[in-house]
Structure 1
Amino acid sequence: MFKTAAIQSAGLGMDTGIFHAAYGKYAEKAIKAVNQEAWRLEQLLSYFIPTSEISKINQSAGAKCEQISSDTYEILSRSIHFSACSNGTYDATIGPLVNLWTYKTTSEIPESEKVKEVLPFVNYSDLYLDPVAKTAGLKKNRQCINLGGIGKGFASDKFLEIFRNYGIKSALTNLGGNVAALGSKPDGSPWSIGIQHPRLTDSLLGVVAVTDKSVVTSGDYQRYFIDRTGKRRHHILDPTTGYPSESELISVTVVADNGTTADALSTIIFITGINTGLNILKGFPGTEAIFVDKDLTVYITAGLRNSFHPADKINIQIIT
């Protein structure tokens, strides 16, 4: 029924590793188009590319609005939606804080006065979008947008659109752990997505079986340093405090119908904790989650009862 799978590891892109697998007559052409799309989206949305539309908005902060593409408008609009439904727990204007926490080059925490200084510039309500003119702008100078926490999920949705346009019914894309599955495997069985154990390298908590779903994990083990007091300082910042979140969770995996939702919600719930996170999940029917707390207790929502398969010696508690 299917031609041999076209599988391609595209190496680094969007500051992470990218992998695609597709099955079908036009799989090879589809993967080529998806790789081109990854490059195009990075040129539009990257915080690190000075000529990107996001960078232009940042450069014009407090001065003027910038003309933007429909893709940039879409992701910014979705960002504002998730900010509103989480009371600002997710905030695309977190850029000034991200700039202070330089995980790749230092193991020192920023001075508290510097954190206090930039906190007022983190405010999603200062992001202006004009749906008619297709423009975007920031109210104050020094404000800046950083799409970490939503960008990779958004890109994975665009990749699946391309696969569908090529008639592909079975595909998988993985952007640094942001996984999106199109359909099922060619044999009709679900895709098995491994969930990283947050404290054991090269070990899994288990696997979740999915069809037509996105699976995204946020954890304190992906990017972090240990400060002078021995405290782990991870990269998921709480916009309300300016510091890495301390919700008692060390890993959150969200399974959703699309990557944008899974990406944003995994970040939001990691920061809010289980109780508030469960209330937020109610606004997204069909979306499920796996939580791991500091005691390595694993909780799953009831919808994953039959699809999450824990590894040996991993006990789970089902949230009903």
Structure 2
Amino acid sequence: MFKFKKSLLFILTSLTLVLLLSGCTKKQPEPISKEGLFLGTFCKITIYDEASRDILEKAFDRIEKIENKMTINKSNSEIINVNSKAGLDYVKVSPDTFYVIKQAKHYSEISSGKFDVSIGPIVKLWNIGTDKARVPSAKEIEDKIPFVDYKNILLNEKENKVMLKKKGMIIDLGAIAKGYAGDEVERVLKENGVEHAIINLGGNILTLGSKPDNKNWRLGVQNPFDSRGQHLGTIEVSDKSVVTSGIYERYIEKDGKRYHHILSPQNGYPVDNSLASVSIISDKSIDGDALSTTTFALGLEDGLKLIDSMENVEAIFVTKDYDIYITPGLKNNFKITNEKFKLKN
């Protein structure tokens, strides 16, 4: 018998950072916000400028359009069309979908397949985060592994066409589409004159500009071993994306064992290493989204090496032993607020 965590806050929000707004004394316009369920998670956009609520409607309309193109959990979408033609033919998709697939394939390549956007057959077996979650048999997993290989995603850039080489393959953009949606919301807000906002797409947080008083936003980094809203430390950012992946976000339990949702493309089981969570700070949320999963799958040593090789990307690695490792750019920024955790580098 297994237990499925069905709490709205636990599964749908996947919040990994909590906004800390203390210290703002100058009177500012009343913020306006809108929230809703999109991309399989809880989304909230808050604007801190004087602005029309029509801007929020435009932002959520953009999220909905992206979801309708990239979901595999509805009756129809561009990704579903691509998957249905696996092994048969190319499918023309929108520039949005083509770009996200291309970026996903890029991260699959630089991680040597530790991140693999074609992991859909394995995701569908486990269904973690849905009411159909279960622990599949070893035979079921073994039968699906041959269909997971990003190298068999064929791209025709001239015509925005995509083909999956083998019948039975499934693309799942769940580890990257939210990031792209966040970047697009930021673009919509900027085009409509917004200068100060927080975009929260199920834990993918983007800070547009600074706070209205021109100070950095202070974000609390979620303690992966404690209840929602309990922090292990804080960082200050402006015009940045912060995305966290961890073993605590979505999981199922069976016979006393916990199975989290970050699955290995190599063996079909949840990634098992020393990490409890990884937070990525980047300019673009599509990068942070993909990299949080990629570095978690790579593990501490290789994950740190990958981030160190990139410009304008920082990371916070939290191990199951309560140790924290950060990249050099956070040395004078990240502050531990929970004494259980120790900074190791």
**Is TM (by shorter chain) over 0.5?**
yes
| Residue matched to 1:285 | 311
SS across alignment from 2:170: coil
Q: How many residues align?
A: 318
- 2:328 aligned with 1:316: no
The more displaced of 84-93 and 276-285 is 276-285
2:174 maps to amino acid: G
Aligned equivalents of 1:226, 1:25: Cα separation in 2: 46
Alignment of 1:54-69 (within 5 A): 54-69=79-94
- CA deviations over 1:212-236 (Å, ceiling 9, x no partner): 11000001111112222x3221000
Listed as ranges, the gaps of 5+ residues in structure 1 are: none
1:15 maps to amino acid: G
Are the aligned partners of 1:94 and 1:122 in contact in 2 as well (CA < 8 Å)?
Answer: yes
**Which of residues 240, 244, 263 in structure 1 aligns to 2:289?**
263
What is the CA-CA distance between 1:10 and the residue it aligns to?
Answer: 1.5
Alignment of 1:34-49 (within 5 A): 34-49=59-74
Are the aligned partners of 2:280 and 2:316 in contact in 1 as well (CA < 8 Å)?
Answer: yes
Alignment TM-score, normalising by the size of structure 2? 0.88
Aligned equivalents of 2:315, 2:199: Cα separation in 1: 20
SS across alignment from 1:288: strand
What is the CA-CA distance between 1:107 and the residue it aligns to?
Answer: 6.7
**Which of residues 202, 210, 216 in structure 1 aligns to 2:243?**
216
Q: Give the 3 Å change call, closer, same or farther, for CA 108–71 of structure 1 in structure 2.
A: closer
| Residue matched to 1:241 | 267
| Residue matched to 2:16 | none
Alignment of 1:86-165 (within 5 A): 86-103=111-128, 104-105=130-131, 108-165=134-191
Alignment TM-score, normalising by the size of structure 1? 0.94
Listed as ranges, the gaps of 5+ residues in structure 2 are: 1-25
**Which of residues 200, 216, 220 in structure 2 aligns to 1:174?**
200
Aligned equivalents of 1:193, 1:271: Cα separation in 2: 24
What is the CA-CA distance between 1:27 and the residue it aligns to?
Answer: 4.9
SS across alignment from 2:235: strand
What is the CA-CA distance between 1:31 and the residue it aligns to?
Answer: 1.5
Query: How much identity, in percent, do the aligned residues show?
Result: 35
Are the aligned partners of 1:107 and 1:226 in contact in 2 as well (CA < 8 Å)?
Answer: no
The more displaced of 307-316 and 204-213 is 307-316
- CA deviations over 1:88-138 (Å, ceiling 9, x no partner): 111111000001113334675211111111101001111111111111111
Aligned equivalents of 1:150, 1:189: Cα separation in 2: 29
SS across alignment from 1:160: helix
Aligned equivalents of 1:238, 1:218: Cα separation in 2: 14
| Residue matched to 1:22 | 47
What is the CA-CA distance between 1:17 and the residue it aligns to?
Answer: 0.6
Are the aligned partners of 1:89 and 1:240 in contact in 2 as well (CA < 8 Å)?
Answer: yes
Aligned equivalents of 2:308, 2:33: Cα separation in 1: 37
SS across alignment from 1:84: helix
SS across alignment from 1:236: coil
- CA deviations over 1:57-91 (Å, ceiling 9, x no partner): 01111111111111001101101111111101111
- CA deviations over 1:280-311 (Å, ceiling 9, x no partner): 11332121111111112122222112222222
Aligned equivalents of 2:206, 2:52: Cα separation in 1: 16
**Which of residues 212, 216, 234 in structure 2 aligns to 1:190?**
216
Aligned equivalents of 2:27, 2:56: Cα separation in 1: 16
Q: Give the 3 Å change call, closer, same or farther, for CA 28–306 of structure 1 in structure 2.
A: farther
Question: Which of structures 1 and 2 has the larger relative contact order (alpha carbons within 8 angstroms, sep 6+)?
Answer: 2
| Residue matched to 1:82 | 107
What is the CA-CA distance between 1:149 and the residue it aligns to?
Answer: 1.2
Aligned equivalents of 1:117, 1:278: Cα separation in 2: 33
Aligned equivalents of 2:54, 2:29: Cα separation in 1: 13
Aligned equivalents of 1:318, 1:248: Cα separation in 2: 14
CA RMSD of aligned residues (A): 1.8
